[in-house]
C-alpha cells in the first residue's frame, strides 16, 4: 500500500528538522492525485501557514485544489476544553459548589498535561469528523516529546475513563444498598453531597447518574476510536523526519523505540537537508565528511525502515512551486 493511500499520516521529529516542509509537500502531492486532503498543525510554534504564504487559523482554510489546512490554537483549544468540563460539572453539582468548581478548573488550566489532554480531545474529534469529508488527514506535529505524549494519551485516557466508569458503577450500587438499608429520611442541611439525592434542576437522581455515565461512555468511545485508528497500520502511518546530525539521530532512535512500544505503525524515515553532490568548497567538504559518518549511522540504526533522502536547498522553503518540487522528489521513492 502506498503511504498516501492511508487515511491518517503523522509527520514528526525533532524541532527544526523540516517536519512542516515534509507534511506540506506530502499534502500537496496527495491533493494533486485527486485526494481531498486536510493538513493540520499541532505545533504551538506554527509555520504551516507561512510555508504556503497564507494566514491560517483554528479553522479549515483552502490552500490549493483539494487541499485545506488549519493550525490548532493550543490556548483556545484548552480554554474550550476547560469550559466544557465546567459546563458538565455545573450541570451535575450543587449550585453552592459552583464557585469552588470554577476555582479548581481555573487551577487545572495551568496543570501539567492540561494542554495535551485538550489537544488529544481536539485531535480525536478531528479524526472522527474529518474522515467523512477528507480522504487523507496529515498531522504536522509538535517536536517529538510532545507528540509521543499526545499519541500515548488515547490509551491512558481510555484506561482512566474505564476506571471512572467502574468507580461510578460501584458507587451507584453502594448507594442503592444504603438506600434499601436506611431508606430516605430527608437530607441533612449543610452537606453539599446531599444535593445528589435531591431533584435539583428538576431532574431526579437517576437522571443525574445516567448523565454522568453518558458523558463517561462517550469519552471512552471517542478515545477508543482514536486509539484503534492510530494503531491501524492499513489506515495510519507515522513518518519520522531527521537531519544527518547527532541530536536528531539520537531523538529519532528514542522516538522509534517508543512508537513501537505503543504499537504505532512507522512507515518511513525521511532524511532531510542532505548536501547535494555538486556542492563544492573547503567548508562544504568538511561538512560532507561529517555528514557521511551520520548517514552511515542512519543506515545502520534504521535498517528496518524505508529511508527517503531530500536535498538541502539553496533557499528557504515556501510557496506552492517549491513544495511541488519537493513532492516530486518524494514521489520518486517507493513509500510503503
Distance, in Å, from the CA atom of 6 to the CA atom of 235, rounded to the nearest integer, reads 5
Q: 58 pLDDT exceeds 70?
A: yes
The three cell numbers of residue 103 are 476555582
3-79+111-159+232-290+304-331 — its CATH code? 3.40.50.300
Average pLDDT (202-226) is 73
The pLDDT assigned to 45 comes to 81
Distance, in Å, from the CA atom of 290 to the CA atom of 73, rounded to the nearest integer, reads 39
The pLDDT assigned to 17 comes to 96
Give the DSSP H/E element, type plus range, for residue 209. helix 205-231
User: Which of 40-49, 59-68, 105-114 reaches the highest mean pLDDT?
Assistant: 59-68
Residue 88 neighbours by CB distance under 10 Å: 13
Strand partners, 240: 12, 269
Q: 241 pLDDT exceeds 80?
A: yes
The pLDDT assigned to 87 comes to 83
Per the CB < 8 A criterion, the answer to whether 207 and 105 are in contact is no
For the question of whether the overall pTM of this predicted structure is more than 0.85, the answer is no
Strand partners, 270: 241, 308
Structure confidence by residue, pLDDT tens digits, 270-283: 999 999 999 999 99
Strand partners, 307: 269
Q: 160 pLDDT exceeds 80?
A: no
Domain ranges of the chain: 3-79+111-159+232-290+304-331
The pLDDT assigned to 139 comes to 95
Beta strands 67-71; 61-64: pairing state? antiparallel
The pLDDT assigned to 222 comes to 83
At CA 121, angle to CA 233 and CA 50, rounded to 5?
80
Amino acid at each position: 500500500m502506498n503511504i498516501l493511500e492511508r487515511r491518517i499520516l503523522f509527520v514528526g521529529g525533532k524541532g527544526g528538522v523540516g517536519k512542516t516542509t515534509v507534511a506540506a509537500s506530502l499534502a500537496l502531492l496527495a491533493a494533486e492525485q485527486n485526494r481531498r486532503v486536510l493538513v493540520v498543525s499541532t505545533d504551538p510554534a506554527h509555520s504551516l501557514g507561512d510555508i504556503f504564504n497564507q494566514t491560517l487559523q483554528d479553522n479549515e482554510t483552502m490552500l490549493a485544489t483539494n487541499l485545506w489546512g488549519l493550525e490548532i490554537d493550543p490556548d483556545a483549544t484548552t480554554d474550550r476544553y476547560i469550559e466544557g468540563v465546567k459546563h458538565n460539572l455545573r450541570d451535575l453539582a450543587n449550585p453552592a459548589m459552583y464557585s469552588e468548581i470554577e476555582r479548581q478548573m481555573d487551577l487545572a488550566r495551568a496543570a501539567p498535561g492540561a494542554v495535551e489532554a485538550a489537544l488529544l480531545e481536539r485531535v480525536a474529534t478531528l479524526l472522527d469528523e474529518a474522515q467523512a469529508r477528507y480522504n487523507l488527514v496529515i498531522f504536522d506535529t509538535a517536536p517529538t516529546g510532545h507528540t509521543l505524549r499526545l499519541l500515548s494519551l488515547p490509551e491512558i485516557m481510555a484506561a482512566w475513563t474505564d476506571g471512572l466508569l467502574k468507580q461510578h458503577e460501584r458507587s451507584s450500587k453502594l448507594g442503592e444498598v444504603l438506600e434499601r438499608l436506611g431508606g430516605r429520611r430527608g437530607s441533612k442541611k449543610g452537606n453539599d453531597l446531599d444535593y445528589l439525592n435531591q431533584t435539583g434542576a428538576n431532574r431526579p437522581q437517576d437522571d443525574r447518574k445516567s448523565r454522568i455515565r453518558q458523558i463517561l461512555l462517550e469519552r471512552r468511545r471517542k478515545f477508543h476510536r482514536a486509539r484503534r485508528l492510530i494503531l491501524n497500520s492499513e489506515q495510519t502511518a507515522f513518518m519520522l523526519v531527521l537531519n544527518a546530525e547527532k541530536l536528531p539521530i539520537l531523538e529519532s532512535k528514542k522516538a522509534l523505540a517508543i512508537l513501537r512500544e505503543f504499537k504505532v505503525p512507522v512507515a518511513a524515515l525521511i532524511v532531510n537537508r542532505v548536501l547535494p553532490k555538486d556542492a563544492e568548497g573547503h567548508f562544504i567538504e568538511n561538512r560532507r565528511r561529517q555528514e557521511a559518518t551520520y548517514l552511515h549511522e542512519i543506515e545502520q540504526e534504521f535498517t528496518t525502515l524505508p529511508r527517503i533522502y531530500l536535498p538541502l536547498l539553496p533557499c528557504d522553503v515556501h510557496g506552492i512551486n517549491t513544495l511541488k518540487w519537493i513532492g516530486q522528489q518524494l514521489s520518486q521513492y517507493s513509500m510503503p
